[in-house]
């Protein structure tokens, strides 16, 4: 069995665009067969075990200050999630969108530096098969799109949009430097509903197809 951990935010969790309840800071969620992780599992088959580790609001390295939901700091929770799911053959990381919210205003460089710390932690851990390190697939998220809505303006602005657009270039350079596989989700899943942030059903399906090809190619070697 090849174990694959998918570590991400609401676009891994399966947030349905436009369904957020601000009072509870929760949203409706696509079912398992619609989420890209569930589609990926079906495409890869029984030799693979796809583990979902998506969380609404997860960012690379910040503690929430406005809503103060627990465990949104991706860097601090990564060791726990890795060990909970040991042994792992591959870790898929797709984070960075929430770094750009108004509360944090992280630059693309700050976000990339945090991702690099995650990668280096994984490369130096012993949570792969036979106490080796898991392999890593880094995915740059689809940039957010400006939508005139109360929900969007509550979290993002023009600077946020620019920062998410820049991530693909930074992540590609980081992946090459660290020897990780890389995928640019903006080239695959440019499909949104009405909130400018979350993937729709087609986006989840297209992303799963591209990740499956990448994983099958890697493990066939």
The edge-to-edge listing of strands for the beta sheet with 48-54 is: 48-54, 2-8, 90-94, 135-140, 181-184
Read off φ and ψ for residue 190, nearest 5 degrees. -85, 55
Nearest to 21 by CA among 56, 70, 61: 56
∠ Cα 78 80 85 (to 5°): 100
List of E strands, the chain? 2-8, 48-54, 90-94, 135-140, 181-184
pTM of this prediction? 0.95
Which one is the CATH code of 2-220: 3.30.450.20, 3.90.1720.10, 3.40.50.1110, 3.40.50.980? 3.40.50.1110
Collapse the DSSP code of 169 into the 3-class scheme (helix H, G, I; strand E, B; otherwise coil) and give the result. helix
Q: pLDDT digit of tens for each residue in the chain (221 aa)?
A: 999 999 999 999 999 988 878 788 888 999 999 999 999 999 999 999 999 999 999 999 999 988 889 999 999 999 999 999 999 999 999 999 999 999 999 999 999 999 999 999 999 999 999 999 999 999 999 999 888 777 788 899 999 999 999 999 999 999 999 999 999 999 998 666 678 899 999 999 999 999 999 999 989 87
**Token pair listed for 89:** 């053959």
């Amino acid at each position: 069995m090849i174990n694959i951990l998918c570590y991400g935010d609401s676009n891994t969790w399966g947030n349905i665009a436009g369904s957020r309840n601000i009072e509870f800071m929760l949203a409706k969620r696509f079912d398992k067969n619609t989420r890209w992780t569930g589609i990926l599992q079906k495409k890869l088959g029984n030799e693979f075990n796809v583990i979902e580790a998506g969380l609404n609001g997860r960012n690379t390295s910040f503690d929430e200050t406005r809503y103060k939901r627990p465990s949104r700091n991706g860097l601090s929770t990564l060791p726990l999630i890795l060990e909970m799911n040991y042994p792992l053959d591959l870790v898929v990381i797709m984070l960075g969108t929430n770094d750009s919210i108004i509360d944090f205003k992280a630059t693309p460089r700050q976000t990339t530096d945090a991702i690099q710390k995650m990668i280096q932690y994984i490369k130096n851990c012993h949570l792969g098969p036979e106490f080796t390190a898991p392999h890593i697939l880094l995915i740059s998220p689809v940039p957010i799109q400006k939508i005139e809505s109360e929900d969007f303006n509550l979290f993002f602005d023009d600077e946020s949009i620019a920062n998410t657009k820049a991530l693909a270039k930074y992540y590609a350079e980081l992946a090459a430097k660290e020897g990780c596989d890389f995928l640019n989700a903006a080239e695959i899943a440019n499909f949104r509903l009405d909130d400018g942030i979350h993937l729709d059903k087609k986006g989840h399906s297209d992303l799963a197809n591209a990740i499956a090809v990448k994983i099958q190619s890697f493990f066939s070697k």
